[in-house]
A and B are shown apart, each in its own frame.
Chain A
Amino acid sequence: MQKVKFSFNAFIMMLIIFSIFVIFVFFGLTDMANIRINNDVYEIEGTDYSVRYTELTPSGLYKGKGYAGELKVEGNFGYDWGVSIEDGVLYCNEYRMTSLGMMVSDFVRIDLETYEKKVVIKNAMMIGKCESGEIVCLDGFMMPSWQFETNSLYKLYSMSSDTIRAEDDVVTVRYFDGGKTVYSFEDSMTDEDRIEYYRSLDLKEVNG
Protein backbone atom coordinates (compact mmCIF):
# COMPACT_ATOMS: atom_id res chain seq x y z
CA MET A 1 0.00 0.00 0.00
CA GLN A 2 1.33 3.42 -0.98
CA LYS A 3 1.97 5.94 1.82
CA VAL A 4 0.00 9.17 1.32
CA LYS A 5 1.44 12.41 2.76
CA PHE A 6 -1.18 14.86 3.98
CA SER A 7 -0.01 18.39 3.16
CA PHE A 8 -1.28 21.77 4.34
CA ASN A 9 -2.44 22.52 0.79
CA ALA A 10 -4.64 19.42 0.93
CA PHE A 11 -6.04 20.69 4.22
CA ILE A 12 -6.95 24.05 2.61
CA MET A 13 -8.55 22.24 -0.33
CA MET A 14 -10.65 20.20 2.10
CA LEU A 15 -11.55 23.38 4.00
CA ILE A 16 -12.78 25.04 0.79
CA ILE A 17 -14.97 22.02 -0.01
CA PHE A 18 -16.25 21.87 3.59
CA SER A 19 -17.02 25.62 3.49
CA ILE A 20 -19.01 25.28 0.28
CA PHE A 21 -21.18 22.73 2.07
CA VAL A 22 -21.47 24.69 5.31
CA ILE A 23 -22.01 28.16 3.86
CA PHE A 24 -23.96 27.47 0.70
CA VAL A 25 -25.96 24.41 1.66
CA PHE A 26 -26.56 24.64 5.42
CA PHE A 27 -26.63 28.40 6.03
CA GLY A 28 -28.09 29.06 2.60
CA LEU A 29 -31.08 26.86 3.36
CA THR A 30 -31.65 28.07 6.91
CA ASP A 31 -30.91 31.71 5.98
CA MET A 32 -29.93 32.63 9.55
CA ALA A 33 -28.47 36.02 8.68
CA ASN A 34 -31.70 37.27 7.16
CA ILE A 35 -33.34 39.99 9.23
CA ARG A 36 -35.43 41.63 6.52
CA ILE A 37 -38.78 43.03 7.50
CA ASN A 38 -41.42 40.96 5.81
CA ASN A 39 -44.08 43.41 4.74
CA ASP A 40 -44.22 47.05 5.81
CA VAL A 41 -45.31 50.28 4.19
CA TYR A 42 -44.29 53.78 5.30
CA GLU A 43 -46.25 56.62 3.76
CA ILE A 44 -44.32 59.79 2.95
CA GLU A 45 -46.19 62.66 4.55
CA GLY A 46 -47.72 65.23 2.22
CA THR A 47 -47.16 63.12 -0.89
CA ASP A 48 -48.81 60.26 -2.74
CA TYR A 49 -45.70 58.09 -2.29
CA SER A 50 -44.80 55.34 0.11
CA VAL A 51 -41.70 53.30 0.89
CA ARG A 52 -42.25 49.56 1.07
CA TYR A 53 -40.13 46.83 2.58
CA THR A 54 -41.37 43.47 1.48
CA GLU A 55 -40.40 40.00 0.37
CA LEU A 56 -43.66 39.38 -1.45
CA THR A 57 -43.18 42.08 -4.10
CA PRO A 58 -40.02 44.12 -4.80
CA SER A 59 -39.11 46.65 -2.10
CA GLY A 60 -38.96 50.24 -3.22
CA LEU A 61 -40.71 53.53 -3.75
CA TYR A 62 -44.39 53.07 -4.57
CA LYS A 63 -46.90 55.58 -5.88
CA GLY A 64 -50.13 55.30 -3.96
CA LYS A 65 -51.03 54.72 -0.35
CA GLY A 66 -51.06 51.45 1.54
CA TYR A 67 -50.35 48.15 -0.14
CA ALA A 68 -52.12 48.95 -3.41
CA GLY A 69 -49.44 51.27 -4.80
CA GLU A 70 -47.54 51.01 -8.06
CA LEU A 71 -43.79 50.29 -7.93
CA LYS A 72 -41.82 53.22 -9.33
CA VAL A 73 -38.23 52.68 -8.16
CA GLU A 74 -36.85 49.43 -6.77
CA GLY A 75 -34.54 49.49 -3.74
CA ASN A 76 -34.39 49.42 0.06
CA PHE A 77 -35.11 53.07 0.73
CA GLY A 78 -35.15 54.41 4.24
CA TYR A 79 -37.83 56.50 5.84
CA ASP A 80 -36.53 56.13 9.40
CA TRP A 81 -34.34 59.26 9.19
CA GLY A 82 -36.87 61.15 7.09
CA VAL A 83 -37.09 62.06 3.43
CA SER A 84 -36.97 65.37 1.69
CA ILE A 85 -38.69 66.52 -1.48
CA GLU A 86 -37.25 69.57 -3.24
CA ASP A 87 -38.32 70.68 -6.76
CA GLY A 88 -39.73 67.28 -7.69
CA VAL A 89 -36.68 65.42 -6.40
CA LEU A 90 -36.86 63.02 -3.47
CA TYR A 91 -33.78 62.70 -1.22
CA CYS A 92 -33.47 59.71 1.08
CA ASN A 93 -31.21 56.89 2.25
CA GLU A 94 -30.86 53.65 0.37
CA TYR A 95 -29.77 50.66 2.42
CA ARG A 96 -27.63 47.87 1.05
CA MET A 97 -27.13 44.66 2.99
CA THR A 98 -24.05 42.48 2.83
CA SER A 99 -24.47 38.73 2.45
CA LEU A 100 -24.10 38.27 6.23
CA GLY A 101 -26.41 41.09 7.25
CA MET A 102 -24.19 44.14 7.74
CA MET A 103 -26.04 47.21 6.51
CA VAL A 104 -24.54 50.17 4.67
CA SER A 105 -26.39 53.22 3.40
CA ASP A 106 -26.06 55.64 0.51
CA PHE A 107 -27.59 59.09 0.17
CA VAL A 108 -29.66 59.00 -3.04
CA ARG A 109 -31.87 61.30 -5.08
CA ILE A 110 -34.88 60.14 -7.07
CA ASP A 111 -36.39 62.29 -9.78
CA LEU A 112 -40.16 62.01 -9.28
CA GLU A 113 -40.88 62.75 -12.97
CA THR A 114 -38.53 60.31 -14.65
CA TYR A 115 -38.06 58.03 -11.59
CA GLU A 116 -34.35 58.02 -12.20
CA LYS A 117 -32.30 57.13 -9.13
CA LYS A 118 -28.86 58.63 -8.60
CA VAL A 119 -26.42 58.07 -5.73
CA VAL A 120 -25.44 61.49 -4.36
CA ILE A 121 -22.89 60.21 -1.81
CA LYS A 122 -21.87 56.62 -1.22
CA ASN A 123 -21.56 55.39 2.38
CA ALA A 124 -23.43 58.40 3.71
CA MET A 125 -26.57 58.85 5.74
CA MET A 126 -29.18 61.56 5.62
CA ILE A 127 -30.29 62.45 9.14
CA GLY A 128 -33.05 64.94 8.37
CA LYS A 129 -33.13 68.73 8.04
CA CYS A 130 -31.46 71.43 10.08
CA GLU A 131 -33.12 74.50 11.64
CA SER A 132 -32.70 76.60 8.49
CA GLY A 133 -34.14 73.83 6.27
CA GLU A 134 -31.05 72.33 4.60
CA ILE A 135 -30.69 68.55 4.36
CA VAL A 136 -28.09 67.22 6.82
CA CYS A 137 -26.01 64.31 5.63
CA LEU A 138 -23.18 62.41 7.34
CA ASP A 139 -20.53 61.47 4.81
CA GLY A 140 -18.42 58.44 5.73
CA PHE A 141 -20.87 57.19 8.32
CA MET A 142 -22.20 53.74 9.12
CA MET A 143 -25.04 52.58 11.33
CA PRO A 144 -24.69 53.71 14.97
CA SER A 145 -25.07 50.23 16.44
CA TRP A 146 -22.43 48.68 14.22
CA GLN A 147 -19.52 50.71 15.34
CA PHE A 148 -16.00 50.14 14.29
CA GLU A 149 -14.48 48.87 17.52
CA THR A 150 -16.93 45.96 17.81
CA ASN A 151 -17.12 44.80 14.22
CA SER A 152 -14.08 43.36 12.45
CA LEU A 153 -15.88 43.13 9.11
CA TYR A 154 -16.61 46.85 9.31
CA LYS A 155 -12.88 47.47 9.75
CA LEU A 156 -12.19 45.50 6.58
CA TYR A 157 -14.98 47.37 4.78
CA SER A 158 -13.58 50.77 5.74
CA MET A 159 -9.95 49.86 5.01
CA SER A 160 -9.94 50.85 1.33
CA SER A 161 -12.48 53.66 1.67
CA ASP A 162 -11.24 57.24 1.57
CA THR A 163 -14.34 58.66 3.25
CA ILE A 164 -15.03 56.25 6.13
CA ARG A 165 -12.60 57.24 8.85
CA ALA A 166 -13.77 54.62 11.26
CA GLU A 167 -10.61 54.41 13.34
CA ASP A 168 -11.16 57.90 14.80
CA ASP A 169 -14.95 58.06 14.23
CA VAL A 170 -14.66 61.22 12.14
CA VAL A 171 -17.45 62.07 9.70
CA THR A 172 -17.96 64.93 7.28
CA VAL A 173 -21.21 66.71 8.05
CA ARG A 174 -22.68 68.10 4.82
CA TYR A 175 -25.58 70.50 4.43
CA PHE A 176 -27.42 70.29 1.10
CA ASP A 177 -29.57 72.88 -0.57
CA GLY A 178 -30.88 72.27 -4.07
CA GLY A 179 -28.74 69.15 -4.36
CA LYS A 180 -25.50 71.01 -3.68
CA THR A 181 -23.30 71.12 -0.59
CA VAL A 182 -23.65 74.59 0.92
CA TYR A 183 -21.73 73.98 4.11
CA SER A 184 -19.59 71.16 5.46
CA PHE A 185 -17.26 70.41 8.33
CA GLU A 186 -15.50 67.43 9.85
CA ASP A 187 -16.47 66.27 13.29
CA SER A 188 -15.83 63.40 15.65
CA MET A 189 -18.95 61.32 16.29
CA THR A 190 -18.38 60.89 20.00
CA ASP A 191 -22.02 60.16 20.84
CA GLU A 192 -25.45 60.06 19.27
CA ASP A 193 -26.36 63.45 20.77
CA ARG A 194 -24.16 64.99 18.07
CA ILE A 195 -26.85 64.11 15.51
CA GLU A 196 -29.27 66.39 17.37
CA TYR A 197 -26.60 69.10 17.38
CA TYR A 198 -26.12 68.86 13.58
CA ARG A 199 -29.86 69.21 13.10
CA SER A 200 -30.12 72.12 15.49
CA LEU A 201 -27.73 74.30 13.45
CA ASP A 202 -29.06 77.33 11.64
CA LEU A 203 -26.81 78.00 8.65
CA LYS A 204 -27.82 81.65 8.46
CA GLU A 205 -26.42 82.12 11.97
CA VAL A 206 -23.37 79.95 11.30
CA ASN A 207 -22.44 81.82 8.10
CA GLY A 208 -23.11 85.16 9.76
Chain B
Amino acid sequence: MNIFKKRPYSGTKIYVLIFQISSLLPLIHILYCSGFNSAVIPRGFTSVMFDTGMSAVPRVESLLLSSLYRLTLSEIFVYFTLAAVAFAYGVIMKKLLSLKKTAPAAKYFAAVMICIDVVVRALPFRFNFVFGTLYYVIGLIIRLACLALVISDIVISRRTEK
Protein backbone atom coordinates (compact mmCIF):
# COMPACT_ATOMS: atom_id res chain seq x y z
CA MET B 1 0.00 0.00 0.00
CA ASN B 2 1.42 3.33 -0.99
CA ILE B 3 0.62 5.98 1.62
CA PHE B 4 1.89 8.71 -0.71
CA LYS B 5 -0.87 8.00 -3.25
CA LYS B 6 -2.50 11.12 -4.70
CA ARG B 7 -5.79 11.76 -2.91
CA PRO B 8 -8.71 14.04 -3.87
CA TYR B 9 -8.33 15.90 -0.56
CA SER B 10 -4.70 16.82 0.13
CA GLY B 11 -3.11 16.10 3.52
CA THR B 12 -2.69 19.80 4.29
CA LYS B 13 -6.37 20.44 3.56
CA ILE B 14 -7.35 17.61 5.92
CA TYR B 15 -5.00 19.12 8.55
CA VAL B 16 -6.70 22.52 8.18
CA LEU B 17 -10.07 20.79 8.56
CA ILE B 18 -8.88 18.97 11.71
CA PHE B 19 -7.58 22.29 13.10
CA GLN B 20 -10.94 23.94 12.44
CA ILE B 21 -12.95 21.08 13.96
CA SER B 22 -10.67 21.09 17.04
CA SER B 23 -11.31 24.82 17.45
CA LEU B 24 -15.07 24.31 17.16
CA LEU B 25 -15.31 21.49 19.75
CA PRO B 26 -14.88 23.76 22.83
CA LEU B 27 -17.58 26.09 21.48
CA ILE B 28 -20.28 23.46 22.15
CA HIS B 29 -19.53 23.58 25.88
CA ILE B 30 -19.38 27.39 26.05
CA LEU B 31 -22.66 27.64 24.14
CA TYR B 32 -24.20 25.08 26.49
CA CYS B 33 -22.89 26.96 29.54
CA SER B 34 -24.27 30.27 28.29
CA GLY B 35 -27.77 28.98 29.04
CA PHE B 36 -26.87 28.13 32.63
CA ASN B 37 -24.49 29.24 35.30
CA SER B 38 -21.17 27.75 34.20
CA ALA B 39 -20.10 27.24 37.80
CA VAL B 40 -22.79 24.68 38.57
CA ILE B 41 -22.66 22.64 35.37
CA PRO B 42 -21.80 18.98 36.05
CA ARG B 43 -19.21 17.22 33.94
CA GLY B 44 -20.76 15.73 30.81
CA PHE B 45 -20.43 15.20 27.08
CA THR B 46 -19.84 18.89 26.31
CA SER B 47 -17.03 19.07 28.91
CA VAL B 48 -15.32 16.11 27.23
CA MET B 49 -15.65 17.90 23.86
CA PHE B 50 -14.18 21.04 25.43
CA ASP B 51 -11.17 19.21 26.89
CA THR B 52 -10.56 17.29 23.65
CA GLY B 53 -10.77 20.43 21.51
CA MET B 54 -8.58 22.49 23.81
CA SER B 55 -5.97 19.71 23.91
CA ALA B 56 -5.99 19.41 20.11
CA VAL B 57 -5.53 23.10 19.25
CA PRO B 58 -1.92 24.38 19.28
CA ARG B 59 -0.63 24.84 22.83
CA VAL B 60 0.37 28.45 22.16
CA GLU B 61 -3.19 29.22 21.05
CA SER B 62 -4.77 27.61 24.12
CA LEU B 63 -2.29 29.43 26.38
CA LEU B 64 -3.12 32.75 24.75
CA LEU B 65 -6.83 31.97 25.11
CA SER B 66 -6.30 31.18 28.79
CA SER B 67 -4.49 34.50 29.30
CA LEU B 68 -7.28 36.34 27.48
CA TYR B 69 -9.85 34.57 29.63
CA ARG B 70 -8.08 35.56 32.85
CA LEU B 71 -7.71 39.11 31.60
CA THR B 72 -11.25 39.67 30.30
CA LEU B 73 -13.16 37.18 32.53
CA SER B 74 -15.34 36.52 29.52
CA GLU B 75 -16.16 33.11 28.07
CA ILE B 76 -17.95 34.88 25.22
CA PHE B 77 -14.66 36.51 24.22
CA VAL B 78 -12.95 33.10 24.24
CA TYR B 79 -15.80 31.70 22.14
CA PHE B 80 -15.59 34.30 19.40
CA THR B 81 -11.77 34.32 19.40
CA LEU B 82 -11.74 30.53 18.85
CA ALA B 83 -14.34 30.76 16.07
CA ALA B 84 -12.58 33.71 14.43
CA VAL B 85 -9.17 31.98 14.50
CA ALA B 86 -10.69 28.81 12.96
CA PHE B 87 -12.39 30.88 10.26
CA ALA B 88 -9.38 33.09 9.50
CA TYR B 89 -6.94 30.15 9.40
CA GLY B 90 -9.27 28.24 7.08
CA VAL B 91 -9.75 31.16 4.69
CA ILE B 92 -6.03 32.10 4.58
CA MET B 93 -4.83 28.49 4.12
CA LYS B 94 -7.46 27.83 1.44
CA LYS B 95 -6.29 30.88 -0.48
CA LEU B 96 -2.59 30.04 -0.08
CA LEU B 97 -3.06 26.38 -1.01
CA SER B 98 -5.08 27.26 -4.12
CA LEU B 99 -2.24 29.31 -5.64
CA LYS B 100 0.65 27.42 -7.25
CA LYS B 101 3.18 30.01 -6.10
CA THR B 102 2.25 29.99 -2.42
CA ALA B 103 1.07 26.39 -1.94
CA PRO B 104 4.52 24.83 -1.20
CA ALA B 105 5.37 27.60 1.28
CA ALA B 106 1.99 27.17 3.01
CA LYS B 107 2.63 23.45 3.41
CA TYR B 108 6.11 24.02 4.86
CA PHE B 109 4.69 26.71 7.14
CA ALA B 110 2.04 24.26 8.44
CA ALA B 111 4.67 21.54 8.97
CA VAL B 112 6.97 23.92 10.90
CA MET B 113 4.09 25.17 13.06
CA ILE B 114 3.07 21.62 13.97
CA CYS B 115 6.70 20.70 14.72
CA ILE B 116 7.02 23.68 17.08
CA ASP B 117 3.76 22.65 18.77
CA VAL B 118 4.93 19.05 19.22
CA VAL B 119 8.19 20.33 20.78
CA VAL B 120 6.22 22.61 23.17
CA ARG B 121 4.02 19.65 24.13
CA ALA B 122 7.06 17.51 24.85
CA LEU B 123 8.42 20.01 27.40
CA PRO B 124 7.60 19.16 31.03
CA PHE B 125 5.61 22.32 31.75
CA ARG B 126 2.60 22.26 34.07
CA PHE B 127 0.25 23.74 31.45
CA ASN B 128 0.72 20.66 29.26
CA PHE B 129 -1.04 18.46 31.82
CA VAL B 130 -3.85 20.77 32.96
CA PHE B 131 -6.48 18.77 31.05
CA GLY B 132 -5.12 15.45 32.29
CA THR B 133 -2.82 12.77 30.90
CA LEU B 134 -5.52 11.19 28.71
CA TYR B 135 -6.24 14.47 26.92
CA TYR B 136 -2.50 15.15 26.69
CA VAL B 137 -2.08 11.86 24.79
CA ILE B 138 -5.17 12.49 22.60
CA GLY B 139 -3.90 15.98 21.72
CA LEU B 140 -0.42 14.68 20.93
CA ILE B 141 -1.81 11.89 18.69
CA ILE B 142 -3.99 14.39 16.77
CA ARG B 143 -1.03 16.74 16.27
CA LEU B 144 1.29 13.91 15.16
CA ALA B 145 -1.39 12.71 12.72
CA CYS B 146 -1.61 16.26 11.35
CA LEU B 147 2.17 16.35 10.97
CA ALA B 148 2.10 13.02 9.09
CA LEU B 149 -0.65 14.34 6.79
CA VAL B 150 1.22 17.56 5.96
CA ILE B 151 4.58 15.77 5.43
CA SER B 152 2.95 13.16 3.17
CA ASP B 153 1.39 16.03 1.21
CA ILE B 154 4.80 17.71 0.82
CA VAL B 155 6.33 14.41 -0.37
CA ILE B 156 3.50 13.91 -2.91
CA SER B 157 3.94 17.47 -4.22
CA ARG B 158 7.69 16.98 -4.65
CA ARG B 159 7.18 13.66 -6.46
CA THR B 160 4.58 15.21 -8.76
CA GLU B 161 6.96 18.09 -9.55
CA LYS B 162 9.68 15.62 -10.57
Contacts and interface: CB of A to CB of B under 8 A. Distances in A.
Interface of A: 7-9, 12-13, 15-16, 19, 22-24, 27, 32-33, 35, 96-104, 143, 145-146, 149-153, 155-161, 165-167
B24 A16 contact: no
Nearest to A122: B70
B79 A23 contact: yes
Interface of B: 17, 20, 24, 26-27, 29-31, 33-43, 47, 50-51, 54, 62-63, 65-67, 69-70, 73-80, 83-84, 86-87, 90-91, 94, 126-127, 129-132
Contacts of A151: 38-39, 41, 43, 47
A19 B77 CA distance: 12
B87 A27 contact: no
B17 A8 contact: yes
Contacts of A8: 17, 20, 90
B130 A166 contact: yes
A100 B63 contact: no
B73 A96 contact: yes
Contacts of A99: 73-77
Given A22-B31, A100-B33, A160 B63 contact: yes
Nearest to A30: B35
Contacts of B132: 167
Of A8, A16, A158, A161, most B-chain CB atoms within 10 Å: A8
B69 A9 contact: no
A23 B30 CA distance: 10
Nearest to A123: B70
Given A22-B34, A98-B75, A159-B66, A165 B20 contact: no
A19 to B, nearest CB: 7
A9 B91 contact: yes
A161 to B, nearest CB: 7
B90 A157 contact: no
Contact of A152 (B17, B29, B40, B67): B29
A157 B127 CA distance: 11
Given A16-B84, A98-B75, A160-B67, A155 B130 contact: yes
B34 A160 contact: no
Given A143-B39, A153-B75, A16 B131 contact: no
A145 B38 CA distance: 12
